Structure 1
Amino acid sequence: MSYIDNILFVVVLALGFGYFAFNVKKLIRNIKLGHNVDRFDNPGERWSNMAVIALGQSKMVRKPVMGILHIIVYVGFVLINVELLEIIIDGIFGTHRLFSFMGGFYNFIIGFFEILAFGVIAAVTIFWVRRNSIKLKRFVHSDLKGWPKSDANYILYFESILMVFFLTMNAADAHLQSVGAHHYAQAGSFPVSCFISPLFDGMSEGTVMIIERAAWWLHIVGIMIFMNYLYFSKHLHILLAFPNTYFANLKPKGKFVNLESVTNEVKLMMDPNADPFAAAPPAAEGEVIAKFGASDVQDLNWVQLMNAYTCTECGRCTEACPANITGKKLSPRNIMMKTRDRLEEVGKNIDKNKGTFVDDGKALLNDYITPEELWACTTCNGCVEACPVSIDPLSIIMDMRRYLVMEQSAAPVELNGMMTNIENNGAPWQYSQMDRLNWKDEA
């Protein structure tokens, strides 16, 4: 019977990690739909950013209370799952608390994990109250209606239940140790679950063993389910926060990125030896003519697409957005959520058509994000600065604006007038270049 348990455990692991690998492969495929951008420079600064922002949670603690609670959940959930290694080995080989040979250190680790588990449950409860009872503005925003709101709550329930299974497993284990049950040797310290153990007093040894085994199985199966749920959830940032902060833009905020094609054209115009009447060289066979800006997810770069998957939907960007504060339609959080939704739709299209994208008559621009949202942006970089995992909604907004201006000539009337004046008069104002210095005579 023991071998059947071990085989079943291996099957559960294979299914869990296999489906996880399948989703990771699909995730990487979708991110690679974006065009290339070089983010491998300055590795020292990039590693530092990842350590401080992703691992050190430096931007989270700008709001100290919630930042500390988030760190408790983050650290607790990650560290407690270190015991997953022991569970996996025990499950495969039929052992029990294999690492207990470490003695006092093992007792300390298990006790520390229990305190963290209690901290996770307490923090998650506070988060649930903030989202569902107090209803803070950034959590009741129109962005979070429907699935996004439910998803956030599902994550809180998941984390709480997994911690309860962990503590129940330990409490039953501690009880069985105290009564000298077979192969339940003295191991571990249980500062939290010791308060649960008295519930098992009076129960038969066999019943408590069933409870301990059930909690053990539910804990490991729950972790497998949670791990595979991440792909469909905003909590994908648990995995992507690290690469996202590493590959973040290191250039000064607000620095405009020039298109290489436009730069080359300007250089050609300034070359005295160039023939101004020469036709552009024909495109090579199979060459795709690049757009000016972006109208769909394939026109964005791979870092921007990774940004979309990394979004935690916390709303700090929207909370900091002056356009949104004044009632404009723009929400940087929604820009990222819509980009991810469109990217998922494109990915499903590719899956359905055996690896090839078939035009579905839709695009990120207009079908998901409206020009009204794009032109409401003040380009202040408030959203970029506020994001706890270095997401850059502004870069997507600017690329889509560029498409509207350069591909569709669809800029607002005021902006078109300014650009016309610059082209004709060398200044944003509508007067002759000969009159540009008249202001000095008015002093």
Structure 2
Amino acid sequence: MISGIVFGILLVGSFGFFTWNVWKIRQNILLGRELDRTDNPKERWRTMILVAFGQKKMFQRPIPAILHLFIYAAFVITQIELIEIVVDGFSGHHRIFRPALGGFYTFIISFIEILSVLAFVATIAFLARRNLLKIPRFTMREMVGWAKTDANLILFFEFLLVTCIFMMNGADEVLYSRGLSHAENLGDGSFGFAVTQHIGPAFFGGLSDGALHVIERIGWWGHIVMVFVFLNYLPFSKHFHILLAFPNTYYSNLEKKGRFTNLASVTNEVKLMMDPTADPFAAPADGAVAEPQRFGAKDVTDLTWKSLLDAYTCTECGRCSSACPANQTGKLLSPRKIMMETRDRLEVVGDNIRKHGKEYDDGKSLLFDHITEEEIWACTSCNACVQECPVNIDPLSIIMEMRRYLVMEESKMPSELTGMLTNIENNGAPWQFSPTDRLNWKDE
């Protein structure tokens, strides 16, 4: 009875805290500008299934893709066992589904155990890749401090979770063979699970009945507590992509990667200038004058909600930065850092708004205080980062909006571009000669 009450408190408290943090993240994302991504739902569902669920882009690098698949599959399938643990926690029963499912139950738990072993191997491999092999994309300048700790911490959680599963099942296997398990009178003298029918007797066979009960309970409670800890750690971690990868890929940009957006306000002004029947001084039909928006983006609230969703979805895997030609030639730009800084700034802005209201200004901005001009002008706009991202994040859209702000609001750009833009304005071409001279070459 007491254990059921404790379990209920943990469950409600855990999901309540998780819901509160998810609500805050949702509020932060909605601070972005509006963007319509509701077109072509069939193609969007297809993209989500292939990229998020099917891990399509991960397999461009087969070894980490297979290791990631082990953890991903274990995470998804283990939720079946988690359902039983939750029911057991409330009901006070143990393995409540086994009598009804019989051999199919044994198959399911055996399959989960095999996946758990593979996930354990993948966890060790990922820890080694980050801390022993020191893969270059995991040692870039932005991957220090919390970023490195976060990556290792989640792998440590995975290690503990798998350990608790095998403690619970292994000790229970031995107890059941002695007729002392909580799950009694369920058939023969063995659960017969694929892994623990071997490692249970090997690791726990020589222990006393009392010690086995303690180990089994530590495994059971350790498993569910680790699930609750992991759940509430997600909103503070890069691993929130486990949940956000699906909506993020659904709302992917389906346009050709080389196509850039135009500012609607600028487009409308140009159309007005080219319409000989238009009166540029006429008031709007409804008499309302919309508040002018900033050209480009200086802070996170100038970005679209999709760019902000991208920031929270970033896995910090570094594939974007390892493919970036600017980064590989030693320039400051790192597309991963762009996404990390956007997320960090958005967290600060969201907290400030909740505490002080929408009008509060802390005197800082994403551009200048988090991302430098040198970084964004180093971008070649080649879209390599967008192509490489396993969850269809678009760092280039953020870079282009910040460039747009610098040019159109601050009139700031590298000197190499100033002459070119002046020539385009005066001559209609990047070269320094008049339009009438542009075809002189044909007379040579």
Q: 1:86 is matched with which residue?
A: 84
Q: 1:6 is matched with which residue?
A: 4
Q: 1:369 is matched with which residue?
A: 371
Q: 2:244 is matched with which residue?
A: 240
- Normalising by structure 2, we get a TM-score of 0.96
Cα distance, 1:332–1:85 mapped onto 2, change above 3 Å: same
Aligned-residue offset at 1:340: 0.3
Aligned-residue offset at 1:285: 8.0
Aligned-residue offset at 1:286: 9.5
1:60-106 deviations in Å (ceiling 9; x for gaps) = 01111111111111111221122110000000011111110201111
- The equivalent position to 1:345 in structure 2, one of 348, 357, 365, is 348
Aligned-residue offset at 1:201: 2.5
For residue 180 of structure 1, give the secondary structure of its aligned residue in structure 2. coil
Counterparts of residues 147-166 of structure 1 (less than 5 Å): 147-166=146-165
Structure 1 Cα separation of the partners of residues 229 and 286 of structure 2: 49
Q: 1:305 is matched with which residue?
A: 308
Aligned-residue offset at 1:126: 0.5
1:240-284 deviations in Å (ceiling 9; x for gaps) = 0000000010000010111110110001000102245x2776998
Contact persistence 1:35–1:302 (CA under 8 A): yes
Q: 1:432 is matched with which residue?
A: 434
Q: 1:130 is matched with which residue?
A: 129
1:321-360 deviations in Å (ceiling 9; x for gaps) = 000011110000000000000001111212322x535100
Q: 1:197 is matched with which residue?
A: 201
Counterparts of residues 181-330 of structure 1 (less than 5 Å): 181=180, 183-185=182-184, 186=186, 188-193=191-196, 194-275=198-279, 278=281, 287-330=290-333
Share of identical aligned residues, percent? 57
Q: Specify the code of the residue in structure 1 equivalent to 2:392.
A: S
Aligned length: 438
For residue 118 of structure 2, give the secondary structure of its aligned residue in structure 1. helix
Counterparts of residues 55-74 of structure 1 (less than 5 Å): 55-74=53-72
Moved more, 27-36 or 411-420: 411-420
Cα distance, 1:325–1:182 mapped onto 2, change above 3 Å: closer
Q: 1:174 is matched with which residue?
A: 173
Contact persistence 2:8–2:90 (CA under 8 A): yes
For residue 78 of structure 1, give the secondary structure of its aligned residue in structure 2. helix
Contact persistence 1:171–1:190 (CA under 8 A): no
Q: Specify the code of the residue in structure 2 equivalent to 1:393.
A: P
Structure 1 Cα separation of the partners of residues 338 and 287 of structure 2: 35
Aligned-residue offset at 1:200: 2.3
Structure 2 Cα separation of the partners of residues 424 and 182 of structure 1: 86
- Normalising by structure 1, we get a TM-score of 0.96
Structure 2 Cα separation of the partners of residues 284 and 95 of structure 1: 69
Coordinate RMSD, CA, aligned: 1.7
Contact persistence 1:176–1:184 (CA under 8 A): no
Moved more, 412-421 or 21-30: 412-421
Structure 1 Cα separation of the partners of residues 359 and 97 of structure 2: 50
Structure 1 Cα separation of the partners of residues 182 and 52 of structure 2: 41
Contact persistence 1:106–1:188 (CA under 8 A): no
Structure 1 Cα separation of the partners of residues 390 and 315 of structure 2: 9
Structure 1 Cα separation of the partners of residues 36 and 88 of structure 2: 44
Aligned-residue offset at 1:182: 5.1
Q: Specify the code of the residue in structure 1 equivalent to 2:244.
A: L
Structure 2 Cα separation of the partners of residues 72 and 248 of structure 1: 26
Structure 1 Cα separation of the partners of residues 283 and 317 of structure 2: 48
1:292-341 deviations in Å (ceiling 9; x for gaps) = 11000000000000000000000000000000011110000000000000
Contact persistence 2:32–2:302 (CA under 8 A): yes
Structure 2 unaligned blocks of 5 or more: none
Structure 1 Cα separation of the partners of residues 282 and 327 of structure 2: 46
Contact persistence 2:406–2:412 (CA under 8 A): yes
Cα distance, 1:181–1:239 mapped onto 2, change above 3 Å: same
Structure 2 Cα separation of the partners of residues 290 and 246 of structure 1: 27
Cα distance, 1:356–1:426 mapped onto 2, change above 3 Å: closer
Aligned-residue offset at 1:189: 3.5
Structure 1 Cα separation of the partners of residues 77 and 191 of structure 2: 16
Contact persistence 2:169–2:200 (CA under 8 A): no
Q: 2:395 is matched with which residue?
A: 393
